[in-house]
Amino acid sequence: MTDPDIDITRPSSARVWNYLLDGKDNFAVDRELGDALRSANPGIVAVARSQRRFLIQAVTHLAGEVGIRQFLDIGTGLPTADNTHEVAQRVAPESRIVYADNDPLVLAHARALLTSSPEGRTAYIDSHVEDPGRILTEAARTLDFTRPVALTMIGILGNVADYAEARSIVRRLLAAMPSGSYLAVSDGTSTSAQSVESQRVAKQSGHPYNLRTPEEIGGYFEGLELLEPGVVSTPLWRPQPGTDPQPLDVYCAVGRKP
């Protein structure tokens, strides 16, 4: 927590999200922004939790029913319960997982992400989402890109200001992956006045996050085969029987590369 590369004067996306999820890896500046975001949009904590639930569900499905054994998790965030490698290797111990993030505190905690079952393997790449070339080059040290890969991008693409650039990044990453690979995305949407206000608050704090429309979330999946139920508010993606989930200002989908 005292790493000189960690800037405690500016909020960090990973640390703010950690605070909203009741984590301890955050500083006063992150808690201040987290409280301001929660005041602007009281549903933001539920958004954070629904994204974690979606990641767990998607990885469980892809490792289990689909049989994917390789995962590239971009925008890893700070380690918490049920990280991608834990979920995947619980289903298939031989799974290989590569994490990519550029937050210095995430890097400082990377060893918690690098545990693995004896049969599998994990690796960490210190890279920004806007450098897909570096991510692919480094990931190829662990993943075999001649075999299907599941690409997960949870709450990360809003860090890319230009939507066309965000789509281009997704296309470049998927272009390196063979048929039978999958994309899982969940990201915040401008679907209520409260979410738009939280975007304004974040920008005012010097930590902008770019919300998309549901149609723009769907644009990331152009050319892919969407799994049911398609592009939906994240709580509505395959809810547990007997539950009554309500839509939130966050959308998601999982798609297969033909």
Instruction: Give backbone dihedrals phi and psi of 241, rounded to 5 degrees, phi first.
Output: -55, 140
pLDDT higher at 79 or 48: 48
Confidence of residue 2 (pLDDT cuts 50, 70, 90): very low
pLDDT higher at 108 or 229: 229
Average pLDDT in the 68-92 region? 92
The count of residues in the chain is 258
Q: In whole angstroms, give the CA distance from residue 98 to residue 110.
A: 11
pLDDT in tens, 24-71: 888 999 999 999 999 999 999 999 999 999 999 999 999 999 999 999
Confidence of residue 3 (pLDDT cuts 50, 70, 90): low
pLDDT in tens, 136-148: 999 999 999 999 9
pLDDT, the chain, mean: 93
pLDDT at 111 over 80: no
Q: Which sign does the torsion angle of CA 165, 171, 177, 182 carry?
A: positive
State the first-to-last Cα distance of the chain, in angstroms, to the nearest integer. 44
